[in-house]
Structures are given as C-alpha cells and as structure tokens.
Chain A
Amino acid sequence: MTIIRFGLNGEPAQVHAPVTASLLDVIRGLGLTGAKVGCRIGVCGVCTVLVDGLPVSSCLYLAHCANGADIWTAEGIARDKPEVVEAFVRCEGMQCGICTPGQVVAAVAARAELGRAADDTQLREYLIGNLCRCTGYATIIEAAKAACDGR
C-alpha cells in the first residue's frame, strides 16, 4: 500500500492503494460509482474516465499511474458540465442506463477532441468503444452531437 494523490473532479484526493489496484477500483472505493465494472478488459467503455483530459478505461489504468493527474468522472462532469448530461436526457440517449456515465464521459472527450465540427461518422468512430447492450446508439450519437454542438 502506498499513498497516491490526484485531483478528482476538481478536488484534491489521496488514497492508500495497492500498487496493482486499478483506477476503477480506487474511484469506486471513494464512493464514486458512476464508472461501472464491466468487461474489465478495456472493451466495453462503462468505466470511462478522463485522465488529464483524455478518455481512459479505468479498469486497465493502474491507479498509481494517476499519481499527480487530474481525474474527472461522470459525477464531476454532471456537476461541472450539466449541459452534456442534459443533452443525453433531451435526446433520450440512454435506455437501461448502465453505459450512460461512460457515454457521457466519452462525449465530453469527443467534444474536446472534435469540437463543434464533429459529424456523425467522427462521433461513431470516437464512441466505437462505448458499448450499449440496449443498442440505443442512434440517440446516443444524437446526444453526443448535441453536446458537441452546444445544443
């Protein structure tokens, strides 16, 4: 167990964690359960968080690599960028909801990367690794596009 310090949704955080712990385990251990435990092999996207502004699969991200980093989860995004969550609500970009926090985080990353000019093809490519088992992709893409457009 060693201590790790990082920014978590804009606040300083510090935890003791085994060196083999994933970032997912650490942030869920802090009570932030927006990032879900899904495939645990970096494929499904339900554990997506931002590390220094870039989307990562927190299941495959060693928590100790986050020492000193700026981490944002769906909870922080819902507070600081409510317009993204509102876009998902308005476009009905969710069904059962399990993938939704990951989709919201990925949409924020897509907005930062692609900006207002993002078209459907770019967004589909960007969100390709965020799986929705309800197959609600059309409205998820619509919501991400609305978030990018600032609608």
Chain B
Amino acid sequence: MAADTRFVAPTTVVEALGALRADGALAVGGGTAVGLLLGHSLIDPRVLVWLGRIPALRRITADGAGLRIGAAVTLRELSRHPAVRSALAALATSAALAGNPRIRSVATVGGALAHADPRQDLPPALLALGAVVEITGQDRSRTVPVDGLATGVMETVLQPGELITAVRIPVLPGLRSVYLRFTPGSTADYPTVAAAASARRDARGRLLSVTLSLGAVGPTVLAVPEAAALAGERTPSAASVAAVADAAARRARPVATRLGSAAYVRAMAAVWARRALTACLARDLVGSPS
C-alpha cells in the first residue's frame, strides 16, 4: 500500500472527473467492493475518489423517456423508490434481494456495474429492462448497453478517467418485469443463477416484446435474444417458453463453484429462465416486488 494514497470526496461530477485524471485513481461508490479488494491487497490505488457526496449522482429523475438513476444511488434507495417499484419491478426486486441490509445501505448502482462481478444482482435486471449505462469521460460522454459494459470477470470497457454517472431505463406502458435469484445455500449468498424477464403488452393484451437475461452463469451478464420470438402471441405455449429457457442454458458459460458443478449451473439456468419467463408472462401476476 502506497503511503501517499489520497482520499478525496468531491461534491460535483466535474470535480470527480478532475480527481480521476490522476494516475491510479479509482472511483468509490459505497466502498463495499473497493473495501473488499483493498482488504485483500488485490488493488493498490493512488487516489480514492468517493462519489457519496455528489448530490447529482444520488438522484433518481424522470423524463419523458423513463428514469435516470444516478450512479451513487444505493441499492436500499433504489429498492424503496416508488417509481422504480411501480414501473421497474425487476430492478426494485434485484436491489431488494442483493447481499444483505448492510450491503444495501451503502452499495451503489454504479458500483454494481463497474465492479463487473458477474454474480451482481442488478445487471440482469437492468439488461432485461433495456437500460443503458451513461459514461462520462474527460472530454466526451457515451452510453453503452448493459451487456456492452463488462468484457469479462471484473473487466469493463471503462477507460482511465471515465466514470459511470447514471443508468437510463425506458419506462413503457404495459410492461411487466420479474427478477428471480436461485440460492441453494444461504439466501444471502450471491446467486447461483439469476434470471430477469420483461414482457410488454398492448392494450389488447398482445405481447409486443419479451426479454430475458441471466446473471452468474458466465463471465458477464447474458442476454437471451431468443426470448424476443415469444412476442406476437397472446399466450406463449409452455413448450415455446421451455425452448427459450433451453436456449438460455446453451448460451450460459458456467464454471464450477462450491455451490455446484458447471453442468448443475447450466441445468439450473434453464429452470430459472423458464420460471422467470413464466412468472412474467402470467396474466394474473402482480408485477411489484414482494
């Protein structure tokens, strides 16, 4: 550990970007991931740039297109936000179930994305909801889709000096979404399989779009484009849902962990993909988090 490591707590995004220009600068959301990595000497930053005192990053705002969620919003705040709970149930649920209350008190949306641990709960929910990640750089900003952020386990497209400032999520009428996590050990574990699904219907009940995404079954969050084929029908058959779930399992790239072999995780990926789709497509299901 370098003795000259600095800690700064900027109050504006501009100040944060300035601090992030330094060599070895690292953005800190809630610090749960950074604290873990520091505690095990896995990182050696020169400057810790804490985002917790930047009001602009702590807001959830609505515009005509949807919600913009600041990167320093905590999982606790996200899970309790009325607009998130009513319009983006999968996201509210993923935030409500991640880790434990102590983690949710401090861990942030931006941190969950930047950390790029494939077992994080938020990315599959964000991906199923069509969210994009807003990245602000020193001289330009850009957006990437949620599955375009991580390139591998704890690796992302973020360049030095860049900061995740928000996620933007469309809010569409007739949308229902669910998030399920499978934890065969303790329910406070990282998920063995996480599955998020969304379904959007028109006023006559016809399916306009269906999405499915999985977490924890590979090095990055996984989109399952085969789910789109379920749109166009009023009630997809159990067989067509199962076919999409099987396609999801084939796309998985699981590794063995203490909670199961790769084959087990792949088999469970099909089960939980099917459950998420089935729950999302059920006409009588209430879409709000329990």
Contact = CB atoms under 8 A, between A and B. Distances in A.
B103 A57 contact: yes
A48 B1 CA distance: 26
Given A62-B50, A65-B31, A20 B38 contact: yes
Contacts, number: 92
Main secondary structure of the interface of A (DSSP, over half): mixed
Contacts of B99: 42, 129
Interface string B81-114: 0000000000000000001111101100000000
Given A42-B32, A129-B102, A64 B39 contact: no
B187 to A, nearest CB: 6
A62 B187 contact: no
B7 A62 contact: yes
A6 interface: no
A137 interface: no
A65 B188 CA distance: 25
B172 interface: no
A60 B36 contact: yes
Contacts of A55: 101-102, 105
A94 B5 CA distance: 41
Given A22-B39, A62-B28, A62-B50, A42 B101 contact: no
A24 B257 CA distance: 30
A56 B36 contact: no
A32 to B, nearest CB: 18
B24 to A, nearest CB: 12
A18 B1 contact: yes
A68 to B, nearest CB: 9
Nearest to A1: B3
Contacts of A61: 31-32, 35, 106
Contacts of B106: 51, 54, 56, 60-61, 65
B74 to A, nearest CB: 9
Contacts of B52: 65
A61 B30 CA distance: 8
A113 B187 CA distance: 20
A54 B105 contact: yes
Interface string B1-44: 10101110100000000000000000010111011101100000
A129 B100 contact: yes
A109 interface: yes
Interface of B is mostly: mixed
Contacts of B39: 22, 40-41, 59-60
A126 B101 contact: yes
B1 to A, nearest CB: 6
A40 B32 CA distance: 11
A57 B100 CA distance: 10
Contacts of B176: none
B5 A54 contact: no
B48 interface: yes
A113 B99 CA distance: 17
A15 interface: no
B245 to A, nearest CB: 28
A51 B36 CA distance: 18
A2 B5 CA distance: 10
A43 interface: yes
B34 A56 contact: no
B159 interface: no
A67 B9 contact: yes
Given A20-B1, A129-B100, A60 B48 contact: no
29 contacts: A2-B7, A18-B5, A20-B1, A20-B5, A20-B38, A40-B39, A42-B32, A42-B99, A54-B76, A54-B106, A55-B101, A56-B105, A56-B106, A57-B102, A60-B35, A61-B35, A62-B34, A62-B35, A62-B38, A64-B48, A64-B50, A65-B28, A65-B31, A65-B50, A65-B106, A129-B99, A129-B100, A129-B101, A129-B188
7 closest residue pairs by CB, A with B = A129-B100, A19-B7, A60-B35, A54-B105, A64-B7, A62-B31, A57-B102
Interface of A: 2, 18-20, 22, 40-43, 45, 48, 51, 54-57, 59-62, 64-65, 67, 106, 109, 113, 126, 128-129
